[in-house]
Amino acid sequence: MAKTQRERDDDATAKRKELGEIELRHRVIKGTDAALAEIMLWHGFSQKAEAIQILIINTHALGAEFSAAVAASASPCTRKPAEWLRHRLRPGTRAMLDEIAQWRGTDNLAAVVEQLIHETHMLGQQHSAHRVRVPRHEIHVSENVAQWVHAKGISQCRLQDLQEARDEWRD
């Protein structure tokens, strides 16, 4: 029988709690949510949390020098926060966001998230692609491992052949 919406919500909440996921709510300047929505549309994201986490991960990968240079060249925002931005972060991504904030000389996480969104949006669709690409792991198999896997596969095939031959004689 299919789960009810309540059961699915309870399962999702339990999984978030198990993974240590926290929900952040930021007051941001007007237009931040629209800029994020446009970035999501450009690059095929369906969830705000996913887009923000990728922005954080990729900005963190650029390092302290990049973040310090961006912070030095940014002009302080004098507009008042006007809208709420809600998203979830896992502990590792939260630690990266804290580190980016430290590199930028602030402890205001809302301002850092807001800056990441607006910096990426200002780059435009084509030039922002490197800021929102999903990191992929490259797997390199050594020659020894490849030979071992191949030999193991051949031995398993031989065992299956023998078992099939025995089964045919029994029938």
Cα separation values, 8 from 4, 15, 23, 48, 147, Å:
6, 11, 18, 20, 45
Q: What does the pLDDT look like over 63-83, one tens digit per residue?
A: 888 877 877 776 666 667 778
Q: Is the pLDDT of residue 2 over 90?
A: no
Q: What does the pLDDT look like over 143-170, one tens digit per residue?
A: 999 999 999 999 999 999 888 888 887 7
Query: Are the C-beta atoms of residues 66 and 4 closer than 8 Å to each other?
Result: no
What is the distance of C-alpha 35 from the center of its chain?
18
Query: Are the C-beta atoms of residues 160 and 167 closer than 8 Å to each other?
Result: no
- Give the closest residue to 27 by CA, choosing from 122, 120, 108: 108
Average confidence (pLDDT) over 35-60: 91
